[in-house]
Amino acid sequence: MPTTPATATHSSSNGSAEAIMLELVDESGTTIGTAEKLAAHQAPGRLHRAFSVFLFDERGRLLLQRRALGKYHSPGVWSNTCCGHPYPGEAPFAAAARRTHEELGISPSLMAAAGTVRYNHPDPASGLVEQEFNHLYVGLAQDVPRPDPEEVGETVFVTAAELTERHAEGPFSAWFMTVLDAARPAIRELTGPSAGW
């Protein structure tokens, strides 16, 4: 679930550009090293730490984003509110809040951990592989999204029934249903039984 172009860099404290590095983990989620972002996603993929965020409005509707067309991985598909990778040594919760603000211009309210899920999803279109140990978070979106067009093509709030219709029409990210299903118990606790999640 990359959130920046594969060739992207970020500036270090001395102003030089550095490759984006991800945290490699074992099957229990213990850090075992680092790898450059694109290298970690090339087949067969290397298991690395990731996060997925699900934000809801006061009516219990889920905020979806359509990934920008310029993304190197899964461009133009619908997915959960926000997903990405912590930098090595960055707490997943902090990374989830940071990227939600960077991508959507909103700060989550009452964001809480919703467990973890491990998966392996190849992307036939790009040949890249998502081998991820994913930390899940649920919370509220109390501001109007102001998406960064380099990251997000569009956003929409959907009910559980509307999501079922949209998902049938597609296209959605390969990992979407895996992370949604894993987060459902926490989603139900947040939104209540009437929301239908």
Active-site amino acid positions: 83, 132
| Angle in degrees, CA 131, 32, 72, rounded to 5 | 35
Distance of alpha carbon 150 from the chain centroid: 15
What phi and psi values does residue 167 have, to the nearest 5 degrees?
Answer: -65, -35
**Which tokens in the block code for residue 18?**
């550095």
Report in angstroms the alpha-carbon separations of 22 from 61, 90, 156: 31, 10, 29
Which of these, 76, 75, 85, 101, lies nearest to 52 by C-alpha position?
Answer: 85
Residues 72 and 119: their CA atoms lie apart, in Å, by 20
Which of these, 59, 62, 32, 64, lies nearest to 48 by C-alpha position?
Answer: 32
